[in-house]
Structure 1
Amino acid sequence: MTTGNEKVFHVGVDVGGTNTDSIVLHPGEAESPHRGIRSSFKTPTTADVTEGISLAIDGALKKGSIDRNQVSAVMIGTTHFINAVVQADDRNLRKVAVFRLCGPYTRENPAFFDFPPILKKIMNGHVAYLDGGLEIDGREILPLKEAAIRQECQLVKEKGISEIVVIGVFSPLDYSGLQEERVKKIILEELPGVDVVLSRDIGQIGFLERENATILNASILKFARRTIRGFMKAMKSLGLSCPLFLTQNDGTIISAEQAQKCPIKTFSSGPTNSMAGAAYLAGLGTNQGDELEAPVIVADIGGTTTDVCALLPSGFPRQAGTWVEVGGVRCAFSMPEVVSIGLGGGTKVMEDENGVVTVGPDSTGYRLLTEGLVFGGNTLTATDIVVASGKEQIGDTSRVSHISEKLVSAARMEMKRLLERAIDGMKLTADDAIVVLVGGGSIVQMDSLKGVSRIIRPSFYDCANAVGAAMAKVSGEVDMICITEGKDETKILEEALALAAKKAIEAGADPNTIRTVSIDNMPLEYTAMKAARLLIKVAGQLSKDALMKPLDDGVPVEEYEEESSVSTSISAISQKEKDPREFTNSPSAFTDIRTYKPEVDSNGTWWVSEIDAEFLATGCSVLACGGGGPGYMIYQACRAAIQAGHKLPVVDIETMTDEKGMVFGSVSYGAPTVTSERLPSGTEGASAIDGLLTMFPGAKPAAMLSIEIGGMNGILPLMHSINYKTPTIDGDLMGRAYPRLYIMTPYLFGRSATPCVQSDGMGNTVAVLKADNMHKLERIHRKAALEIGLFSQMAPAPLTIKDVREVGTLGTMSLAWYIGRGVYQARQEKTSIIQAILDANPSGKLLYTGKIVDVRRYVSAGGYTEGRVRLMALSREEKEFGETSFTETRDMVLPFQNEYLLANLQNPDGTEETLSMVPDLISLIGSDGFALGTQDIKYGVRVSVVSFVAHPHWYTKQGVATGGPREFGYDLDFLPLGNPYYEPKRVTKEFRASA
């Protein structure tokens, strides 16, 4: 029993698009039937968000007769800040200067380049490339140069910019904060009063995504500060003196002070609030050590959509992948993995002339109360079906009495099917799940659900979002890369957990309540020694000290003034004047793919465009077989080169004569994790090729060639062609991606790999003139790669044009282009993406459609990432793409060593049926048509497994021995896929202009 003025109550607020909800929670009464909720209140969201929050809080306090002196904290969840970015609101977004601490690196991918045009115009103020940055093992790339930093500050001052981002390569690993913090100190000495945002405070490893998130955060700082101070003003006007917290994207909270510095961490807290609130209300997964009887899925059903998310045993939602898009910008921050479907209380129900009943996705949305039948309107909605079924007494029930039982039954079955499909899509096993239903539209669930053991609709289900805000915890996170070779891995993990706990305590968590939320231990690929990336999150209840802090931003309530919105150099743009093309960074977004033709001149030279590069990137991901490295950055670098006026020619080898010139190329060599952080300088490949040229006096580059067509390496020669003024030959030396230097087609025919040269962006160059065998050559270069930072470009011995004719896998750039075009055309026409891929490469076969339910990774003694990914089959009803006739129900397991090696169906008796194996290609295709690398696979993702016949070079005796299953440790005879090989058709022939 609470007496006197003891501060015990939490007030939770969630600002939604339609309503603002508020609840009063007593955390000490969590075990009571009402879960500690004393009152709830709902009010329409107002144009002035602060006004709506005031009404909601005041209403909840009065309804529960709560003394305002007894409120210990207010927690608010809002999408107010993200809306400014999504809408490109130039009244509240400001120009930003970016200081990159990178040495020679990252220049191939300029800051702001992958922003949609309208956001780039608003935000791009200044970019500086400065010495600094770290290698993966903590060594400095280059020491900071203070004079250069101060010089850039003066340029920023001249431009009138007051928001500055500082981002250093591998700065999340700089635990002492030496580099970014030191630069911030110098900036503030030169420019007192400016806002400086450090990337290490915003995101995790992944340079481009972390930089983008930090830029958005900086651009919105003043707007966020003004808004949060408005929240504080509202609290003061209500007589509340307790601290204010805002909910974060991951389901935890930060103080108002911290939120004013990092508003991006609150961008998408709404869905997380609902999921966490549902878990709390249902009493599931909220205590450390809880043993759940079944997987828990939350379905938040509103007026328009249903959001479905899986809960971890900790009670937190399962998180999405390593990056998300905000306003068309790739960013790195935690967000729940949510599947949304068009089912809600206002969803329209339609019956055609043949009696076929459909439910959604169209909806009346917030107009339900005027357009739904039971509310006097003329539209049949899901709510009307509920009333007609006799499950609820809402509105005027007589207005649905004419609806036939057949229509009601068909609509109910369709709503049931939609929910079942969404729920099953979130499950990781075939076990029945517990489903918690929340949201005002959850009344549409009326029937039992297949694959669900128990359905819970808890009390206060219609305000779970505000409950999630009120009971949110404080978290601490660690993202670190550890060299584990010869070390006690248990001790490393303990130290990382202690560091995460320290961060949580500093953020306001009670040390006695801190529990582990998640541990992700991911071995690094392609390393010559054991190393792993650790991502750890812990969380705890607010400490008494944190709750004792008074509401105080240093501004007396009577002195609050609205800060004027400082306009950018772009004049205010009205929504009506905004071109939809300004909101996307996709070159093909507003192109009719059916009629698009690449530019091929009368000589047969294909001049690659930005759209061609987009197609190539997608096609190369499919041919990568899980390897090849992430292609997004080289694709963007290619676009930047085209925009800068560079020409990128591709030719068929048939148009070339066997002249004396030689064919060169390079391949990325290192770990994808490093590639994503220490972005290339753009000079690595040229340094390696220049090193080779010194060994061939008088040699002249006649053309460039992909070493492997998979992933980032497929597009790489286009960039080299700029440096050497040469065309790129349509082809490569693998026809796919392979993880080892010696698994290339020239070496099947006795060509030499040496001399072989490796170089980093600093100009450090390693050459092996001769090695007694290919395995020795591989080991030497792996060791060198570790010393030069685990990312380099490798240039093997050049070939003559005659050699390429004989040993190359030709036409593969065209093949990648046709695959990519097929994917984009299928998206545009809403047809089968998988069929489009198979049409582009008729040698292919769909092996499986399923979802990832298990991933195991480890690093072998040779430094290769090995593992297995298990897939569970999808039913025909839940497929979104692929052949509808595919009916396999067995699980599939795909072993991998950087690339996928086998595709094995699992029989009930424990035996396996192999459907495909190397050297044939095996690829996992996501629902968007982009293939998943082995570094991208994660639980719950839906994929189709497609296999293609390898080039005939790999079907030779030497080809099978070099690239077949035995090379990777499997005592298996090669089992061909069974389809014929099709020579790729050429872009240069189909689209060649008339002479």
Structure 2
Amino acid sequence: MMRLGIDVGGTNTDAVIVNADGKLLSWAKQLTSEDIVTAIYQAADTALMEANISPKKISGVFLGTTHVLNALYHPGQLAKTALIRIVKHPSAIVPGLYWPEHLKAYIKKVYQLRTNYSYTGKLKNEASLIDVQLKEMLAEIESEGIESICIVGAFSPLYESEELEIKRRIKNIYPDLPITMSHEIGSTGFLERENASLLNAVLSLVIREAMLSVTEVFKRLKLECPYWLTQNDGSLMEINEAMNFPILTIGSGVTNSLRGAAKLSQLDRCIVVDVGGSTIDIGRMMNGQPEATSGPSTILDIPVNVRMPKTESLAYGGGSLISNKRDVIKIEATIASDIEREGMAWGGKSWTLTDSFLKVFSESFKDEKIELVLLDKLSADDCYKVIHTVSKELKDRIARLQLRNEELPVVVVGGGSPMLVGNIFSKYDKVAHPAGYHICNALGACFAPLSAEIDKVFWLHHKTKEEIITQAKEMIIAELLSKGASENSIRISAVEEFPFDYLKGEVIRLRIKGLGEM
């Protein structure tokens, strides 16, 4: 199986082609374009030409992108969203709790419908859930310019029927309207589940527009094979699934880097440092898989109950600007995609983090366009201060991820990684800097597995816990087979149980995950 891996980063878009044995045949790198698809086309087209193969020989395309995450920082195509809460009593909690104002503005309407259930599962009455308020809401969707719907039931982890019924009624009238149901996004924890579901709904137009554009690009490249996106846990999801659950792709860039670094270094247990133009991300590979958060996580400091890669990040990278005001050195905003035009070493007027390293360690970064003489106006002492800050903060983050009983090796990758290797790590550190470090994200996408997961609350009225776990595992295996996993490669990678103290012996939450290779 010949694979084309593509990773769209904040600075560069990388493409690689590997053969059935995992051997790298070609690679290409382009500055990420504002519309992302131009860079995807250029990088993929160059990689195909370098490998000198027909597009028909590519049997799968594997795409990772930070496009969805970037949309939260720089809104442009976010959807005007209506929130429907299904609750026992109207909630006074304002939706969008802890959201930045620029995102909260996209929550346009809030409706609160009374649930027919109690937490024990008893129906209060047999009256239809679709009451006058829902009918009024349906009439307002068009007049209010609503572009996406988010449905959050207080008891939906136990009973999803009300969310499904409301979706059915809305789809009858607005079949093309994106609808997010919270029971498909998260499990227990109302506010975290609502936040995650609302973010997913707000992002629905961004991912759809991007995927439609990407599909056209692949047609232009004459690629007639299936293609997948990588998601937060480092596994693959189909395009239709990604369009329904854009929030699950937010962490794909980091997990691609983790998997690619482990592949290049041949280490299945390590700490990975990915040095990009905008950020430096640090994560951990455990037993060949990117480590994910076990409990609630955050996106832009918003609490959500979506599993994310367990990472530490520095909010700066090689393209970050440096300022010196009253002898106080600060690392500020990034010009990552414009560094070759604005960075001082390239003839520009902006002092960047990369310039600081080049001033002190002239051999740390290779580029034929660089002229070191242009850095004469920089103070070496000031540049040392920048490097000291980076070194201290990076090593602090690495220390947080080190295991108590095992010192994991560190693998340094990413386009800016040559700046760090040999400069802030001593020769006694367990540090690897593998060949191919600059394209490890795209390479990691090529080796992502298929996955299936169930995170659901089950009643134990008529079955034992063991029977329910067995049934859930069978569902996961069936889903992986339907996605194209080979039967011999399928394995259940995690089984987690979360009992309820207040309903002891009656109900249990299970989170079960399976992986499989194509």
Q: Give the partner amino acid of 2:262.
A: A
- Alignment of structure 1 residues 631-780 onto 2, 5 Å: none
1:413 to partner: Cα distance: 6.7
Distance in 2 between the 1:150 and 1:348 partners?
Answer: 53
Q: Give the partner amino acid of 2:30.
A: T
Q: Report the counterpart of residue 557 of structure 1 in structure 2.
A: none
Q: Report the counterpart of residue 299 of structure 2 in structure 1.
A: 325
| Secondary structure, counterpart of 1:184 in structure 2 | helix
Give the alignment's Cα RMSD to 1 decimal: 3.9
Alignment of 1:336 onto 2:328: no
CA contact (8 A) 2:297 2:304 kept: yes
Q: Report the counterpart of residue 168 of structure 1 in structure 2.
A: 153
CA contact (8 A) 1:320 1:336 kept: no
Q: Report the counterpart of residue 697 of structure 1 in structure 2.
A: none
1:223 to partner: Cα distance: 4.0
1:49 to partner: Cα distance: 1.6
Inter-CA distance 74–510: structure 2 relative to 1 (3 Å threshold): same
1:242-301 CA distance string (max 9 Å, x none): 12322222222221122222222223322222122222222333xxxxxxxxx5111001
Question: TM-score scaled to structure 1, two decimals?
Answer: 0.46
Q: Report the counterpart of residue 40 of structure 2 in structure 1.
A: 53
Q: Report the counterpart of residue 512 of structure 2 in structure 1.
A: 536
Q: Report the counterpart of residue 310 of structure 1 in structure 2.
A: 284
1:489 to partner: Cα distance: 5.4
Structure label with greater radius of gyration: 1
Which one of 345, 356, 361 corresponds to residue 386 of structure 1?
A: 361
| Secondary structure, counterpart of 2:292 in structure 1 | coil
Distance in 1 between the 2:277 and 2:102 partners?
Answer: 31
| Secondary structure, counterpart of 1:387 in structure 2 | coil
Inter-CA distance 172–70: structure 2 relative to 1 (3 Å threshold): farther
Distance in 1 between the 2:439 and 2:399 partners?
Answer: 25
Which one of 32, 35, 44 corresponds to residue 31 of structure 2?
A: 44
Q: Report the counterpart of residue 785 of structure 1 in structure 2.
A: none
Unaligned runs of 5+ in 2: none
Q: Report the counterpart of residue 64 of structure 2 in structure 1.
A: 77
Q: Give the partner amino acid of 1:186.
A: R
Q: Give the partner amino acid of 2:215.
A: M
- Alignment of structure 1 residues 534-683 onto 2, 5 Å: 534-542=510-518
Which one of 6, 17, 28 corresponds to residue 13 of structure 1?
A: 6
1:79 to partner: Cα distance: 2.7
Alignment of 1:208 onto 2:181: no
Alignment of 1:29 onto 2:29: no
Alignment of 1:65 onto 2:49: no
1:171 to partner: Cα distance: 2.3
CA contact (8 A) 1:316 1:517 kept: no
Which one of 86, 94, 98 corresponds to residue 83 of structure 2?
A: 98
Alignment of 1:276 onto 2:262: no
Larger deviation: 434-443 or 245-254?
245-254
Distance in 2 between the 1:393 and 1:182 partners?
Answer: 59
Inter-CA distance 275–173: structure 2 relative to 1 (3 Å threshold): farther
* Percentage identity across paired residues of the two chains: 28
1:495 to partner: Cα distance: 3.9
Q: Report the counterpart of residue 179 of structure 1 in structure 2.
A: 162
1:460 to partner: Cα distance: 1.5
Inter-CA distance 353–138: structure 2 relative to 1 (3 Å threshold): closer
Distance in 2 between the 1:351 and 1:219 partners?
Answer: 39
- Alignment of structure 1 residues 781-860 onto 2, 5 Å: none
Distance in 1 between the 2:172 and 2:11 partners?
Answer: 46
Inter-CA distance 433–350: structure 2 relative to 1 (3 Å threshold): farther
Bigger relative contact order (CA 8 A; separation at least 6): 2
1:457 to partner: Cα distance: 1.9
1:604-641 CA distance string (max 9 Å, x none): xxxxxxxxxxxxxxxxxxxxxxxxxxxxxxxxxxxxxx
How many residues get paired? 510
Alignment of 1:251 onto 2:225: no
Q: Give the partner amino acid of 2:83.
A: V
1:528 to partner: Cα distance: 5.3
Distance in 1 between the 2:315 and 2:78 partners?
Answer: 32
- Alignment of structure 1 residues 283-432 onto 2, 5 Å: 283-285=266-268, 295-319=269-293, 321-326=295-300, 329-341=302-314, 344-346=317-319, 365-366=336-337, 368-369=339-340, 374-376=345-347, 379=351, 380-387=355-362, 395-396=370-371, 416-432=391-407
CA contact (8 A) 1:347 1:382 kept: no
Inter-CA distance 73–451: structure 2 relative to 1 (3 Å threshold): same
1:59 to partner: Cα distance: 1.0
Distance in 1 between the 2:5 and 2:265 partners?
Answer: 17
CA contact (8 A) 2:80 2:106 kept: yes
CA contact (8 A) 1:345 1:383 kept: no
Alignment of 1:195 onto 2:169: no
- Alignment of structure 1 residues 439-518 onto 2, 5 Å: 439-443=414-418, 444-446=420-422, 449=425, 454-481=430-457, 492-518=468-494
Inter-CA distance 96–524: structure 2 relative to 1 (3 Å threshold): same
Distance in 2 between the 1:281 and 1:484 partners?
Answer: 46
1:61 to partner: Cα distance: 0.8
1:170 to partner: Cα distance: 3.4
1:374 to partner: Cα distance: 4.9
- Alignment of structure 1 residues 135-154 onto 2, 5 Å: 135=119, 139-140=122-123, 145-148=128-131, 149-150=134-135, 152-154=137-139
Q: Report the counterpart of residue 771 of structure 1 in structure 2.
A: none
Q: Give the partner amino acid of 2:403.
A: L
Q: Give the partner amino acid of 2:3.
A: H
| Secondary structure, counterpart of 2:403 in structure 1 | coil
Which one of 259, 262, 265 corresponds to residue 248 of structure 2?
A: 265
CA contact (8 A) 2:361 2:423 kept: no
| Secondary structure, counterpart of 2:289 in structure 1 | coil
Distance in 2 between the 1:452 and 1:491 partners?
Answer: 52
Q: Give the partner amino acid of 1:382.
A: F
Question: TM-score scaled to structure 2, two decimals?
Answer: 0.83
CA contact (8 A) 2:16 2:443 kept: yes
- Alignment of structure 1 residues 93-132 onto 2, 5 Å: 93-102=78-87, 104-105=88-89, 107-112=91-96, 115-132=99-116
Unaligned runs of 5+ in 1: 1-7, 31-35, 286-294, 543-995
Distance in 2 between the 1:221 and 1:169 partners?
Answer: 22
Q: Give the partner amino acid of 1:21.
A: D
Inter-CA distance 146–406: structure 2 relative to 1 (3 Å threshold): closer
1:385-440 CA distance string (max 9 Å, x none): 33257x96864466779999999998877655443322111123152111111101
Distance in 2 between the 1:403 and 1:97 partners?
Answer: 52
CA contact (8 A) 1:484 1:530 kept: yes
Q: Report the counterpart of residue 497 of structure 2 in structure 1.
A: 521
Q: Report the counterpart of residue 817 of structure 1 in structure 2.
A: none
1:321 to partner: Cα distance: 4.0
CA contact (8 A) 2:147 2:177 kept: yes
